[in-house]
Each structure stands twice: as C-alpha cells, then as structure tokens.
Structure 1
Amino acid sequence: MQSTFLKHLLLTGGILLLGSCQQSIECYLVPSVDKASDFHELQPHNSAALMLARNEAEHIQLVFKGQIGETYTIHRTTKDNGIQYSCRQITPVYGFDDALVPVEDDKILLTDTIAKLWITYRTTDKTVPGKYNEQLIIAGNGKQQKIKLDLHVYDVTLPTTPSIPATFGIIEKNLIDSTSEEQTLKNKLEWAELCLDYRMNPYFSTWLANSMRHEASSSPWKWDDSRTLAFLADPRFNRFAIPYHSLSHDELDGMLQSLEKHHLLDRAYFYLWDEPAYMNEYRLIGQYAREIHSLKPEAKVLTTFYCGPKDGPYKDKLFSVFDLWQGDTQIFAMSAWALQGNEANADTCRSLLKENEEWWTYVCMGPGENQPNLLLSMTGYQHRAVLWRSWKERTTGFLYWAVNAYAETDTLAFRKDLPEGDGILIYPGRYFHCEHPVVSIRMERWRDSMEDYEYLALLEKKIGRAKSETLVQSIYSNPNEFTQNSHEIEKFRESVLEILCQ
C-alpha cells in the first residue's frame, strides 16, 4: 500500500521546506531565525530549498536525535559548483545556544541526545545564477539519512563594499599574546579579516588612562607600516578608523597626507572619545578635532552619545549635541536606546544634520524589551531586525562597540555590568578546541540583516523609496513592531529578488 505523501510548506531564513521524512534518522530543519531547541514544534523533514543572491550566505539548522557518545558523519555529495558549504555544531555558552564550532573531518560526536547543526551555503560574485541540487548524507550506528537541498541563485549580486558603514570594535588587549608580538599581530589580522568577511568594518579599540578617551585604529599594524595602506584599501572596507592620541602632531600630519595621497582619506574617521557626558569632555573633543581639521578640514571625527550634557546650560537636552559639536564632530553616532522606540526622534536627528554631517546609530546594553538588538536573551527576529531598523530610519551608519568584550582576557566570562552577550559576538577558538576564532549565531544573523539591507538598497535604487517602504512593511513597521514569522521574511526576500531580476 502506498503511504500518504504529506507536503509541508515553511519559508524561513532563506528556506522553503518540502517533503517527507524518512525515519532512518529523524531529522528536523529549523529556520535560521528560530531556536534550534524548538525543533519539536516542527514536523520531521529531509528536504529544503534556499534562495540566494550572489555574494550572499544562507543557512538552515539541522537537528537529529541520537544517543550520548554516538558518532555520526555528515557528508556533502556535491563538489565544485561555485557555492561554498560549511557545517558547524551549535554549542551552548552559559546555557545559550550561540557558538558555531566547525565540524572537523565531517564527524559529529553527540554530547547530548540531540545534535544541532548550522549549515551554511555561500555564493560569490562569480557564482552562476540558476538552480542547484545539493545533498547531505548523515550516517552512524547503522543508520543513514539523505537531506536534499535545492538552491536557487538569482541573477542579483550584493556589493563587495557594504552600502552602509558598519563598524565593529575589537578589544585589542584581549588579543595580546604576552610571549610574542608576532603572534599578537597574527591574532589581530585574523580577527580583522573575520569581521571583514562578515560585512563588518573592524577597528581595534582601547580606552585610555581609565577614562572614556578612546583610541581606534582599523589596521593591525602601525599607521606608517607598509602593510597598512594595502590593508585599508581592501574593498570590503566602507569606513576605517585611524589613530590620534598615540601620534605626535607631525605623525598626524604625515598620516593624513599619506591617506590623501592614496585616495583613502574620505573613508577614514577618528573615534576620539566614547560617550562624552560633560561639557569639559566636549571641550577636549573640540581641542582634538581642531588640531585634526587644521591639517585636513575634510577629515571626519566620530563621537558616540546616548544623552545630552549632564551639566551646563544644555543639561539633559539630548538633541543639543548636534549644535554643541558642530564643526568638531562630523559623524554623530547615537545609541538606538536614546530614540526610545519613537521614529519621530529619528526624524528629528536627521533634520538637525548640517552639510557633510552623518547620523549613525549603535546598540549597546539597550535598547531592550522587544526592540532590535544582539543580546543573547533576545530572539533571532530581534537580531535579524537590527539593520531593518537602520534602513527604515535612514541612518547613514551603524556601530557596535565590541565583538570580544569578556570580563577577563583568559576566560569566556561575561561582564556582570552588561546584559548577557553584550559586546561578544566572537569566541576564542581555544575554548572549543579550535585553532581559529569561533563565530556566534548572533553574528550570522547580523550578517543576514546586513544582506537584507543590501536587498533594500538595491530595491530603493530600482523602484524608489516610497514603493520600497511599502514592501518592507510586510516584515518591519517600527522598532516595536516587526515580523515574528520566518515565512513572511522569505516571502519578502523572494519578492525583492524577483523585482531585482526584472
């Protein structure tokens, strides 16, 4: 007797799930925006489909059941089709499924009765558009399961250089190898390259003399090292940070002259002070900025803030910074928390900008509750919506203060004064028996958010802002109202891809 064939339709994180489950190994395919631990809310499946542009990564979470101590293999049967593949095991960090540990030699050792895998396919700008049939084979303990994955690569290419600057701090002291300066430089280069690979523009971050005075530099090497200019010319950089406090006046002049000579000055910025709160701090920023602008008036200074001054005649007036910093600061980087979830405040910020000024936003500690952020306690939808918000509120940049802000340099302990996961998106590989740094699920979701931003940037160029805003309403209305349904995300992505291909 022929069994009944059941079709399930589920659009998620680039996934269209179809098919029937073979019971050899009970497998579940979970959307990348959802928790893998919620697999029991789904029906078992052994086939799926992914949609991608060129220069894009898409994911599916694969969950199957077994016994502790069992060893399985997972094998990709397709080779050399121009699409990259990776398989990583979802590993808990302090009770949160977050670290993505590479599966070595295709072998999976179960430390629980549930195996949770993060499967990624990634196209390049050279990938030929079309449909691809992928297959994974899971085997172990006399059982086997084939997973069929149908990929549709659209004739749309996401840009190598991000459309919006997204700068991410790397705490420099946490990468220092006390026994080897050469190893420290290798660490810095590896972490910077990893960030660039995820559409993040890295900068090495140091707070000076127990203050909020801040030194930032995107190059792993000193500004006058011969390798620095080549590194900063990488097309994956939209913006990069350059040092100030550690330079003499003549060195500062030399650096600015060199950047101008090599046509890189327009992408450079200084990050001199972090979240100034008092008028004397404003005056110091002005002093530093005037020295910079005396050498190159077009140079850009970035200043972060979450409040107005806490003293003086403009005490507690948030928007006063746009006037108080005029001429000294060109990039006003504002905490999204300070907007209080009100898009009218975003409109006000944009209206206060003068010529050649920019308004960026950042997330740090807040915003909380249901708004977009990258905290561990938040949902995948909140992680994914971070750049949706930036596009909707028309910010011109995004900043995230740190990817490795551990409480101690030699542990994975989170800082107790911060929400769990704040300032941590990458883990040192040694804690997971890995040679290289280990990225988090939240970092993958952030890149997905950035790729969504690229979709929207291309869409806006093709059909205009008004029509694009109408389409984005299907997934995002405001910081307090956005989709919690992966089907809606994929329906939106498919609609955009179809329009862009016309």
Structure 2
Amino acid sequence: MGAGWLAEGLLAGLLAAAPEPRVVSALEKVRPGVELKGEKEARLSLARGECEAAQVVLPPGTSGVRVKPLSLRGPGKVELKASVWREAFLDIQTPSNSQGGTGPWPDPLVPVEAPPGPKGVPTVLYVELCAPESQAPGTYQGALRVEAEGKALASVPFTAEVQPFVLPATSSLPNSFGVSLYSIARRHGLKPESPEARELLRAYAGELLAHRVSAHGMSMEPPPVRFEGGKAVVDFRAYDAEMSPFLEGTALASGARFTTAEVRDNPTARTDAEKAAYYRAFAEHFRQKGWRAQLFFYAKDEPKPEDVALVRAQAQRVRTAGEDVPVLVTTPLDDALRGSADILAPTLNCFFPRPGPQTCRNVVPAQTLRGKLDPHVKVWWYQSCNSHGCTGGPAEDPEVEKVYGSWASYMVDHPAPLNRAMGPLAFLSGVDGELYFDTVYAYNTKDPWKDVFEFGGNGDGTLFYPGTPERPGFTRHQPVVSLRLKHIRDGLEDYEYLRLLEALGDPSFAREAARRLARSGYDIETDTRQWEQVRREVTSRLKKRWEASEYVKRSGVRPK
C-alpha cells in the first residue's frame, strides 16, 4: 500500500501490460506498483437518476491525450450524460494510519487535456455516465475513442444497462457538509464580496448537490434584522438569492434539493427575546417558502465540560422560538447535556463497541442510543480523526493502531470501499443523518494540490481542489472534485438502493446485502468483487420488485 514512485519500465509490467487501454472498476484506486486485472470493455448498470463510472487505464507513457465524446445508442432517445476526467495524483508524505501509505495516490479529477502527472504514474481516465429519470430503460452501447499524440488508441466498448427503477434526485438521507465562501475565495485569490467569488461558491455547492450532499456554511452571512415591538423584521433578499436555488430545486436540472439548512445566528439579536424572535422569523420564512429542508441550529461543536451551560442556554433560547428549529449538538450521549439536543450527533466510532483503548468516551450502539433519548430526538453521526487517528502515521502501540484502523473513512490514502461505506452503514444502523465539518478546510492552510494532510489524515475536511486559470489545464476558476466525493456519492446511492428494496417489500434481503458490505463501522469489506457482486444481486432483486410493483399499479392485479 505504501509503494513510492516507480520507474516507467516497472509500471509496464504491471498495469495495462498490453498496448491498449484497460478498464478497471471505479472501486479500485489505481496506483503505480499495484497490479490490477483490467478488462477490454466497460459494462455499467445504473438506475434512472443515478451516475456510475469506470476507470480506463491507458498504456504506460501515454501523453497528449484527447478523448472524443462518448456517444451511445439504445432503445430510446439517449439522454445519458457522459463525462471524462483524468485522475491526478497526490504525493503522500505521511500516511493516515497503517491502512494508508506514502507515495502517489489518485484523487483530483482534472480535465483530460491537463498536463500529465510525474513520470511513473499511470494515466487513468475516470469515465462517468449519468442517467436522468426520463431515460428509457434498456441497453445502450458505444465506444470511448482516445487519441495520444494525435494517434488513435484501441477504442474501449461501453455498455450501459439502464434499469427501470428510479432513484430520487434528492438524498433520502439528510446530510450537511461544510463549505465556506471565505476559504474558497482565499485559495482562488478572489475577494469574498466579488461576484466572481459568489458565483464560484454556487459552483462548489452545485457540485456537492450533484453528489447528493447538502451544504452548511456557504457565505455564512446572516440576513439583516431589526426589531419592532418585540418582532424580528428580517430582510431575506440576499439569503434567498444565495440559498433558494438549492432549497427549491432549481440549481440542477434534476431538481435535487438540499436536505438541510442551518440557522445563521445574527449578532444584531442581543437579548434572549430578540434571539428567539429572530429564530422564529427564520422558521416562519421557511414555512412560507414551502422549503422542505430540515432547518437546524448548530449549537456547539464537540462541547467541553465548561461549555455545558452555554449549550443549555442556547437550546433554551432556540426552543422559545418553537419546535421548527431543532438544536444540533455534536457529542456522545452525555447526562450533563441531556435534553439539550434535538439532533444528537456523536462521531462514528461512538456507535460501535470495539476491544482495546476507547476513542469515544461513551460508546452506545444506535438502537440502544435511541432508547436512552426522548422520542423526538434524531440521531446523526459524523466522521472525525477519532476514526483514522489524530496524529498521522501508524501508532507505535499496536493495540492503539488497531483501534484506529479499518473504519469507514474519507481519507485519500484509504481503499475506495472505506470511502464509500457510510451509505450502507447508515442503512444498517438507521441513523437519521450525517454531518461533516468541512469540504475545503485545507484551502485555509496550504496548497491542496501538494498536501491535504490535516488532523492526522490525508484529506480530513477537504473534498475539493481549486481549479484556477493560473494552473495548467484550467482556463477559469472552478471546483475540482475528488475521487472521494464520487465514492461518497456512490455510497449514498447504495443507501437509496437498499432503502428502495426495503420499501418494495424485501427488507431482510436489503439488510443481508448491506451486512455483506459493512458489518460494522470498522469491519468494511474491501474486496471490490464482493461489492460488485452485492450490487448485481440487489439490482436484480430490485428490478423484479419494481416491475411487479409497476404491474400492480397499472392493472390492479398482483402477478402470479
């Protein structure tokens, strides 16, 4: 796992030994020195409303790459959208833990025409197909045609089987990942108040939404408020201009919406009465707009004992405004905070008991936790360095290292199944939502193209890279998505598959399938063949259940 940069001659004996492109599962991380079996053609299965991808590994030494648009033919009007990127590499200096490793790891997805990476890294194309809900089911076929230095390589056949069932455009699992206008503006060299920075924020938020992720933070600017006769008069014009596209489903053609939105506290509201009036006005505005997103107040992140009084006071103020603004607190179950949180969000490792040193002060399985909370309280979770270790590199004590190993993870230098596992885990545990503190954290501290090591992990809090006009291969400011964000999206689509299968009357099979992928938060299947096999079985089961359900809807008669 920790192989360094290899000579091109050695690479030739490993990946893509034949002088033609090879297709590798999107669940693999293609690295120098890691031998992977490739195929000559790509075969994808995707629901309507889903995106699926394959990796095309080009022959060693390939340069000057150009890709012709992938066109497909099939039984209906082809609305499938095909996108192609080239995978760029980070040179990891400190592994996240023993499951990570030093050397080159793929993560940023850059334009195909961007300059090639350092000598010795493979040239890998990430080819993604997205099927809109309107796409007719059936088999669609085409070929990816690639040129290198003006000469055609062997074309790569693509077959896409579009299933009859539909995934919702908006995630069924509420989530909230942080993103900041100020972090984005800083790394892109823009003024936060500039129209260009605001448009760029919208692009970042749009990419999150396209990957089934909702954002908190954004511009972080609260709507202006004044108080008249004890009532809050709030000017929501700027807030609505920023947030409406994501709350009303107009930001993307799919109609996807944010599942959540946080109340932006306003320092103009000074007294308890003013704060309550302001929160009440915020909730009333959401009601009047008909926005479906779960509004919440982010009270305190990982409160310490000395913060208990503050959290209790905040919760009391918010609740004075009514029941429409639940209070979110990121903490394990804590008697000192009992009754303060309407959304309790412990870290992932607080849900799964494990032998050895404890990395959470109160480990309680999800169902047990629910029994200890008031019925109205929702349970979210989030990842932190308590999963991969907060110091970086393997721990000296093997027992400590074991405790921090194998968790579901969003780190660059961890296997793709670990990046993807939160969706199946959420289905199994029954949590109500997921929180993640940031997606552009390293924008504040360093050049993400060289280093995203934070909090002991490579990529903790950073899921994007800044595309700027000064960088070769880019002509404008734009967000560059990561492989990890793709894997997170795929995990959320796994959640939709399992949830749909459960809704169609097959909950036992859905749970059995999920357990084959993620037996606990730290026991994740890393064999990509098993993930693909489970997906095939779930797809087959779903297709039969969906067609039977559609038959009943049309005829009113259950099939024999």
Q: Post-superposition shift, 1:52?
A: 0.5
The residue correspondences of 1:202-281 to structure 2 (distance < 5 A) are 202-204=215-217, 223-225=236-238, 226-227=240-241, 228-229=243-244, 231-234=246-249, 235-248=256-269, 249=274, 250-264=277-291, 267-278=294-305, 280-281=306-307
Cα-to-partner distance string for 1:258-288 (whole Å, 9 max, x where unaligned): 122223376211112111111x412212222
Whether 2:378 is the aligned partner of 1:358: answer yes
Give the TM-score taking structure 2 as reference length: 0.74
Residue equivalent to 1:57: 51
Q: Secondary structure at the match of 2:440?
A: coil
Question: Residue type of the partner of 1:261?
Answer: Q
Whether 2:289 is the aligned partner of 1:282: answer no
Whether 2:411 is the aligned partner of 1:418: answer no
Find 1:339's aligned residue among 346, 351, 356.
Answer: 351
Residue equivalent to 1:67: 61
Residue equivalent to 1:296: 322
Residue equivalent to 2:132: 124
Residue equivalent to 2:519: 477
Cα-to-partner distance string for 1:391-436 (whole Å, 9 max, x where unaligned): 1111110111111101635632435543111001011112564331
Q: CA RMSD in A?
A: 2.9
Whether 2:223 is the aligned partner of 1:185: answer no
Runs of 4 or more above 6 Å deviation: 215-218
Residue equivalent to 2:342: 330
8 A contact 1:203–1:217 mirrored in 2: no
8 A contact 2:184–2:440 mirrored in 1: no
Distance (Å, rounded) in 1 between the aligned partners of 2:283 and 2:237: 11
CA separation of 1:440/1:303 partners in 2, compared to 1, >3 Å: closer, same or farther? same
8 A contact 1:170–1:403 mirrored in 2: yes
Question: Residue type of the partner of 1:56?
Answer: E
CA separation of 1:224/1:256 partners in 2, compared to 1, >3 Å: closer, same or farther? farther
Structure 1 gap ranges (5+): 1-20, 207-214, 308-318
Residue equivalent to 1:383: 419
Distance (Å, rounded) in 1 between the aligned partners of 2:221 and 2:386: 22
Give the TM-score taking structure 1 as reference length: 0.82
8 A contact 1:66–1:110 mirrored in 2: no
Distance (Å, rounded) in 1 between the aligned partners of 2:192 and 2:433: 38
Cα-to-partner distance string for 1:284-310 (whole Å, 9 max, x where unaligned): 1222222222122332111112x5xxx
Residue equivalent to 1:197: 210
Residue equivalent to 1:167: 176
Q: Secondary structure at the match of 1:472?
A: helix
Cα-to-partner distance string for 1:123-148 (whole Å, 9 max, x where unaligned): 11111110000201122354521100
Residue equivalent to 2:78: 81
CA separation of 1:275/1:433 partners in 2, compared to 1, >3 Å: closer, same or farther? farther
Q: Post-superposition shift, 1:157?
A: 0.6
Cα-to-partner distance string for 1:294-338 (whole Å, 9 max, x where unaligned): 122332111112x5xxxxxxxxxxx334x7331x32100110122
Distance (Å, rounded) in 1 between the aligned partners of 2:221 and 2:375: 25
Whether 2:119 is the aligned partner of 1:112: answer yes
Q: How many residues align?
A: 453
Distance (Å, rounded) in 2 between the aligned partners of 1:290 and 1:344: 26
Q: Post-superposition shift, 1:386?
A: 1.8
8 A contact 2:87–2:108 mirrored in 1: yes
Residue equivalent to 2:499: 457
Find 2:334's aligned residue among 320, 332, 342.
Answer: 320
CA separation of 1:348/1:432 partners in 2, compared to 1, >3 Å: closer, same or farther? farther
Distance (Å, rounded) in 2 between the aligned partners of 1:34 and 1:246: 48
8 A contact 2:143–2:157 mirrored in 1: yes
Q: Secondary structure at the match of 1:501?
A: helix
